[in-house]
Structure 1
Amino acid sequence: MDNIIYLVSFILTMSLATFATRAAPFVLFHKQGEHPILVFLGRYLPPAIMLLLLIYCVKDIDWFVDQGGINELTALSAVTIAHLVFRNPLVSILLGTGLYMYLKQSI
C-alpha cells in the first residue's frame, strides 16, 4: 500500500513540475510582446543546439581506421546540402539518416 501511495505522489509531483515549467513563460512574459531574453534565445539557441548535436555525433568517429568516417561525412554533407536547398528539417533528417544507414549496411 505504501508503494502505491509513493508512486501516485511521485506521478503527481512530476506532473505539477512539468506543468509549472510549461506554464512559466506564459505567466512571466504575458504582458510584454517580445521580451529581449526570448528574442536572444530564439536567435542563438537553435544554431547552438545544432552545433552541440553535431559535436555529439562525430565525437566517437575513429578517423584512423579503414573507412575513416567516410560514411558519416557523406551523410553530414548530404544533410547540409539538403537543408540549404530545401530548408525543411524533416527532409534533411530523413535524407541524412537514410543515406547513413544505406552506406553503413552496404559498404
Structure 2
Amino acid sequence: MSVQQLYERVTNQIIADIEKGDLPVWLQPWKSGKRGGIIPINAVTKKPYNGLNVLMLWAERQEKQYALAEWLTYKQCQEAGGQVRKGEKSTPGIYVNKQVIEKGTDEERLCHS
C-alpha cells in the first residue's frame, strides 16, 4: 500500500465516521491529569507513535475496542514469546527513516537533482 493510498484510507474512514455520527464523546483526559493511554506507544520500546500513525492507531483501537493503546510488530510479538491469533490482520503504519548525506558527495547531487 502506498503512502498516498494510506492517507486516502484514513481520510475516508474519518469522513465516514463523521457522517455516521459514530464518534466517541470527547473527554479531554489530560485536564484531570490522566494522560496515560492517550497516545499509542510501542509495547516493547515504550516510544510513542507520531504523525498519521496516531490517528490510524486511535481509529483501530476504537473499532476493535482494545483496552490498551500499546502496539508491536509481528517480529516483536514473536521475540516476546507471543503469537498473533489466527485470522488477525495487521494495522498499517508509516515508518520514516532519516538519511543523512554529506554535502558535496555524489549522493547529495543525485538526491537533489
Greater Rg over alpha carbons, structure = 1
Q: TM-score range by the shorter chain?
A: under 0.3
Q: TM-score, normalised by structure 1?
A: 0.23
Structure ranking higher on relative contact order (CA contacts 8 Å, 6+ apart): 2
Q: TM-score, normalised by structure 2?
A: 0.22
